[in-house]
Amino acid sequence: MLRTIQQWTTQHARQEQQDWFMDLPELMAFISVIILRGVTKVPSLCDSWSANLGNPTIISTMARNRFQNIMRHLRFDDMFTRRERAETNRFAAISDLWESFAANCISSYSPGRHITVDEQLFPTKTRCCFLQYIATKPDKFDIKFWVACDLKSKYICNVFPYLGKDPSRPSRERLSETVVMRLMEPFMDKGRTVTTDNFFTSLSLAQRLRSRKTTILGTVNKCRREIPQSTKRKDRTEFTTQVFSTSDATLTVYVPKRKKVVYILSSMHSVVETEDTTRKKPNTIKQYNKAKCGVDVMDKMVREYSVCAGTRRWPVAVFYNMIDMAALNAHVLYQACTGVQERWVDFLVELAKELANSHVSEKKACKEHAFFLPHPAQAKGRSAKSTVDALKIVQIGDALTASNTHVANAASP
């Protein structure tokens, strides 16, 4: 992935400057600066290198002008073939890199039994054909990603963007079912449970998942066809529960308030039991409340120290989201492999330092080497001085020779 970014960034930069070059350690140092800027929020880019607000680690890693130069040329695909690919793929400007990232997420970690599927709205105001406008959301303009997240560790197991209407999707198949089946495809046939909200959950999806040895637990929209009409009456008693069963799933209808009804569809519960309290909450409701928050907690974590910054190019905005997700997954993998519980912000700082370590060491070695080499002006001065000294030595030698000859002649008879 780094070599891909290096290749296409260099290709774009050499349209203006033929000898432009960036090696992999410098690219890693560039990503390191992006991560550190997300940890230490400052008002503007220049403030990261200022004397008062600047971060010493950022200042020692890369010069501000060089960082801006790399950012200006940052590209993720072949600029000469993008127009052709964009006709069939709206995500063409970064699709190859994103597919590699998703494949790495799938292959690097084996999730637990419970996986949560939900949407992530990444806030940005860049112009692209698949930007979502949702008036009820705080950010309003977002790029939507479908995410499958491990419930326990919050590891991002699989993710892909929503690009609008997909012509390859069968006309009779719901978008919600297509999304869940695509996200869960690498984790099927192993007895896992997927938790969804009312946008995704349906009886037909439960049947499809059950055929792949996967169960579902989620809320159901009351407008779904499979909801019995008898449960939609308004005169419902508070804290009452009704259970409807089929061979594939169980529907729990619970009334937490007088004018509110909750529908839970589960293919993992063959028996529904209520707790012995005043609220008489069913076990399906309790299980759903524990398992529904995987993607929401993940999104909260990546936003806390997000590297997102102002940009007019949507591929760069998507790249920022990729860095956030990759850093979170790296944190989960680090803790799973070492058994060390480290704070999220401390891990990000250490990650940034390790990414920049090779480039900083190389810069230090170059400075030390340059310190011992003479400056061209100094070398020229030393050469002239050496010539004068040599001439003086020759003159002194000639004078001594003449004096010795004169003494010898005077002493002879």
pLDDT 10s digit of each residue in the chain, 413 long? 999 999 999 999 999 999 999 999 999 999 999 999 999 888 888 999 998 888 999 999 999 999 999 999 999 999 999 999 999 999 999 999 999 999 999 999 999 999 999 999 999 989 899 999 999 888 899 999 999 999 999 999 999 999 998 888 887 789 999 999 999 999 999 999 999 999 999 999 999 999 999 999 999 998 888 888 888 877 778 889 999 998 889 999 999 988 889 999 999 998 899 988 888 999 999 999 999 999 999 999 999 999 998 899 999 999 999 999 999 999 999 999 999 999 999 999 999 999 999 999 998 888 887 766 665 555 555 444 444 454 444 444 444 444 444 434 444 43
Q: What distances in angstroms separate CA 300 from CA 51, 296, 324, 413, one per listed residue?
A: 32, 6, 11, 111
**In the prediction, which pLDDT does 395 show?**
46
Nearest-CA neighbor of 204 among 157, 255, 248? 248
Q: Is residue 247 part of a domain?
A: yes
Distance CA 386, CA 370 (A): 23
- What are phi and psi for residue 162, nearest 5 degrees? -95, 120
- Residue 215: inside a domain: yes
Helical H runs in 211-343?
283-291, 294-304, 314-338
The closest alpha carbon to 119, from 107, 135, 132, belongs to: 132
Domain count along the chain: 1
DSSP per-residue letters across 143-158: EEEEEEEETTT--EEE
258 within some domain = yes
Is residue 31 a part of any domain in this protein? no
Exposed/middle/buried for residue 194 (C-beta within 10 Å: 0-12, 13-18, 19+): buried
The residue range of the domain holding 275 is 198-290
Tell whether 359 is covered by a domain: no
Whether 170 and 92 have beta carbons less than 8 Å apart is answered as no
Has residue 209 been placed in a domain?
Answer: yes
E strand intervals along 34-128: 114-123
CA geometry: angle 249, 251, 257, nearest 5 deg: 160
Residue 248 has a pLDDT of 87
Asked whether residue 321 is domain-assigned, the answer is no
Angle, helices 64-73/24-39, rounded to nearest 10 degrees:
100
Side-chain-side CA neighbours of residue 124 (13 Å): 28
With residue 194 as reference, give the H or E element that holds it: strand 193-196
62 in a structural domain: no
Do the strands 193-196 and 215-219 form a parallel or antiparallel pair, or are they unpaired?
parallel
